[in-house]
């Protein structure tokens, strides 16, 4: 049955739409960790009832982006330095598994796309654009993996650490650019060569280096 244009969307569809909207705001830095999310304000902003808003917040809680407190409300999740370090330690161990699933299936078009993304990364000084392009590059390398649970875990780790990656990039972006570019180029070349083990090693090193450098900047977690 086709839904009429003036009929409200089903609750599940509305909840997902609201969750996607808030997730985009969090990842873009418009809602920072510790920010309170008021259900009534969100319902008014999106012309929605409170029921799909509540369900959307539960979806975001499951994704680790929102923390709900009974009878108190919802806040954008805040990580401390130890939480973030653990997230990166998990990424070091499991993200290469996702790469291993996808790498043998990458096409010439995929590799050309990786080259284009890396050129764009090297051409920008804007941290926000870098974060978008960097994410596109890495997830292009994973696009052929058929491992839904692994994808869900890694997406959660990327999303929940986005604020801290942004803050760190603003502090150290210029100093780290050549290292990031070199590691990306090594990763792309290993994938082009079909050397999956080398690609895994480069990726693990890439994630570990960011984790170690974050340890030297505790101010990122107090802002």
Among the candidates 55, 76, 97, a domain finishes at: 76
Among the candidates 54, 76, 98, a domain finishes at: 76
pTM of the shown model? 0.89
- For residues 176 and 68, state if they share a domain: no
Range of the domain at 50: 11-76
Per the domain annotation, does 157 fall within a domain?
A: yes
- Per-residue pLDDT reduced to its tens digit, 73-128: 999 999 999 999 999 999 999 999 999 999 999 999 999 999 999 999 999 999 99
Instruction: Tell me the pLDDT band of 223, cut-offs 50, 70 and 90.
Output: low
Instruction: Tell me the pLDDT band of 222, cut-offs 50, 70 and 90.
Output: confident
Please tell me whether residue 76 adopts helix, strand or coil conformation: strand
Judged against a pLDDT cut of 70, whether residue 220 lies above it is answered with yes
Domain count, the chain: 2
Per the domain annotation, does 1 fall within a domain?
A: no
- For residues 47 and 63, state if they share a domain: yes
- For residues 217 and 119, state if they share a domain: yes
Question: Please, are residues 70 and 64 in contact by the beta-carbon 8 Å criterion?
Answer: no
Chain-centroid distance of CA 144 in Å reads 18
Phi, psi angle pair for 79, to nearest 5°: -105, 145
- Per-residue pLDDT reduced to its tens digit, 172-188: 877 788 999 999 999 99
- For residues 25 and 127, state if they share a domain: no
């Amino acid at each position: 049955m086709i839904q009429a244009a003036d009929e409200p969307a089903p609750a599940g569809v509305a909840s997902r739409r609201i969750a996607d909207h808030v997730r985009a705001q969090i990842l873009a830095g418009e809602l920072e960790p510790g920010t309170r999310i008021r259900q009534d304000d969100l319902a008014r902003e999106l012309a929605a009832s409170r029921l799909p808003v509540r369900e959307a917040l539960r979806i975001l809680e499951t994704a680790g982006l929102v923390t709900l407190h009974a009878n108190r409300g919802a806040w954008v999740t805040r990580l401390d330095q130890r939480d973030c370090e653990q997230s990166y330690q998990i990424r070091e161990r499991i993200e290469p598994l996702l790469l291993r699933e996808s790498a043998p299936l990458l096409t010439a078009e995929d590799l050309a796309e990786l080259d284009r993304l890396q050129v764009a990364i090297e051409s920008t000084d804007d941290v926000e654009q870098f974060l978008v392009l960097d994410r596109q590059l890495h997830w292009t390398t994973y696009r052929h993996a058929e491992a839904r649970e692994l994808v869900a875990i890694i997406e959660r780790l990327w999303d929940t650490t986005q604020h801290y990656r942004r803050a760190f990039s603003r502090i150290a972006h210029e100093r780290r650019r050549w290292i990031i570019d070199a590691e990306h180029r090594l990763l792309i070349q290993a994938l082009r060569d079909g050397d999956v083990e080398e690609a895994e090693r480069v990726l693990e090193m890439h994630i570990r280096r960011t984790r170690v450098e974050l340890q030297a900047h505790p101010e990122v977690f107090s802002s």
